[in-house]
Structure 1
């Protein structure tokens, strides 16, 4: 359902609702865009109108509250990660890796930062495995291609040699033809000899 948009001027109560919403999002570590969208729902205005009102009029009246909200946000964040300490940089294969070590010797998976880091590490490991497998496949394909090229060259040589030499079938046919010619020549010679003998009698 489309939200009704108010076009009247901003009141002090409107500004207070907008400011409280933005400050709450700052403390929670959210974004201004999310704050403006939330305020727009409450005030029945567009998020763009809320953003313009905040930046042009309201923000400068709440500078101290903004600073306090940021301090509260840092405090909340520090409480979440307070039991963790940054370990000393470790050199591994020429790459510096920063390892976070729990003081209680366990990692609490509920912390978003730790979950995100684990996901990044797993993604990098998966991509490394994929790259290694792809490299192996490429090497195998190149070897198969090289063998196929060698086979093609060998077949071409055999074909050229076969074209250069008469086939066994052709030799046999020529031999049979030659025998037939000789046989006919003998027959003709025998007939002529018979005629000569008759003529001399």
Structure 2
């Protein structure tokens, strides 16, 4: 009896993850069933629907939770808004760039703009904190310098006072006072 060998696919690529993700986002967005998304992704990736479902549930769902949540919230809007391609992860795979589409590029640029605004606010906040610390440092240096001057005067006075007491004791011992 001849044994049939199943050919095992190689490791999941980012491209295949994105295909599964986009199919799932589309079906979630349209209110469809994920099973249909996995059937669609299976045709595009050459994998079984079960393998696509397993990959989605074991890896993609956690990695792209923000995009998935956004698709659930956007039910009923234009379908093109449900498709999300994580562009930043694909920049090292230039062959994927041609498949991005304007909606995805726009989505990426908006996300980057929001990140830059947050980063700029954080940068300005850090710059202000740095300026405050430098100002406090200068104030403390001046205060230390002033305290050192006072300590020096007190020490000088203490030595002079000590000499005066010694002189008075000497005068008393001589019986002058």
Structure with a larger share of its residues in strand: 1
TM range (shorter): 0.3 to 0.5
TM-score of the pair, normalised by structure 1: 0.36
Structure with a larger share of its residues in helix: 2
